[in-house]
Amino acid sequence: MTSSDPTLAACDYHSNGDVVLTDFTAKSADLGWYVVNDNVMGGRSKGDFEQRHGELSFTGNTNTKGGGFSSIRTNPMELNLSKHSGIQLRVKGDGRRYTWRLTTNARWRGRQIGYWAEFDTQKDVVSTIDIPFSSFTPRVRGYQLDGPALDPEQITGMGLMIYDKLDGPFALRLECVKAYSANKAD
């Protein structure tokens, strides 16, 4: 579900049962974001981020001759989001497709499983994007697995990635990340 607004606004703290995970302001916890680009596997994409003025700006350039992705991730954390239905993002997009990534303590052949959910953006449009936990698919190094399903009781990390198999510049402004309430109508 996506809704659009003309401008980015402060994260709404009065939503029923929603939990703000970060809004990139001084009152928000530092999640220790860091960059992981495809150069870890010989790729040539470049990406970085900047946090300021209550938002995180994720920018760079993807190059499909190699891995073709750029991402930012949080330091390890412990979140129990079992009383929620999913993740809500408030973004200003560039028309490209992005991926929200969650991790838990789940492993496949000793490797950490990443749970991916893709979402589309519209160029220069601010959108609120709800991503149900049921939409996240388990992956290891980009390869989709049959399971296990995401356990929202054991979230150990979050991330934002661009891996849309296109070359060129990207720019996404992320204003707010929430866990939305289980009693919210979908």
pLDDT digits (tens, 9 = 90+) for 123-148: 999 999 999 999 999 999 889 999 99
CATH number reported for the structural domain that contains residue 64 in this entry: 2.60.120.430
Q: What is the mean pLDDT of the chain?
A: 90
Say if 117 falls within a structural domain. yes
Q: Are 56 and 33 in contact (CB under 8 A)?
A: yes
pLDDT for residue 6: 37
pLDDT for residue 25: 92
Q: How many domains does the chain have?
A: 1
Measure the CA–CA gap between 151 and 142, rounded to whole angstroms: 19
Give the pTM. 0.90
Q: Which residues make beta-bridge pairs with 161? A: 71, 99
β 46-52/34-37 pair status: unpaired
Please name the residues in contact with 23: beta carbons below 8 A apart, sequence gap of 6 or more.
10, 11, 54, 175, 176, 177
Phi, psi at 119, each rounded to 5°? -145, 145
| Helical segments of the chain, H only | none
pLDDT for residue 8: 40
pLDDT for residue 17: 82
Angle of CA points 3, 88, 19, to nearest 5°: 130
Please choose, from the candidates 27, 47, 49, 30, the residue with its C-alpha nearest in 3D space to the C-alpha of residue 38. Answer: 47
Say if 80 falls within a structural domain. yes
Tens of pLDDT along 13-66?
A: 556 789 999 999 988 988 999 999 998 778 899 999 999 889 999 999 999 998
Quote the domain boundaries for residue 63: 2-8+16-181
pLDDT for residue 11: 65
Measure the CA–CA gap between 44 and 121, rounded to whole angstroms: 24
Q: Which residues make beta-bridge pairs with 93? A: 123
Say if 186 falls within a structural domain. no
Per-residue pLDDT band at 160 (split at 50, 70, 90): very high
Please name the residues in contact with 86: beta carbons below 8 A apart, sequence gap of 6 or more.
130, 131, 132, 133, 134, 135, 179, 180
Say if 34 falls within a structural domain. yes
pLDDT for residue 83: 94
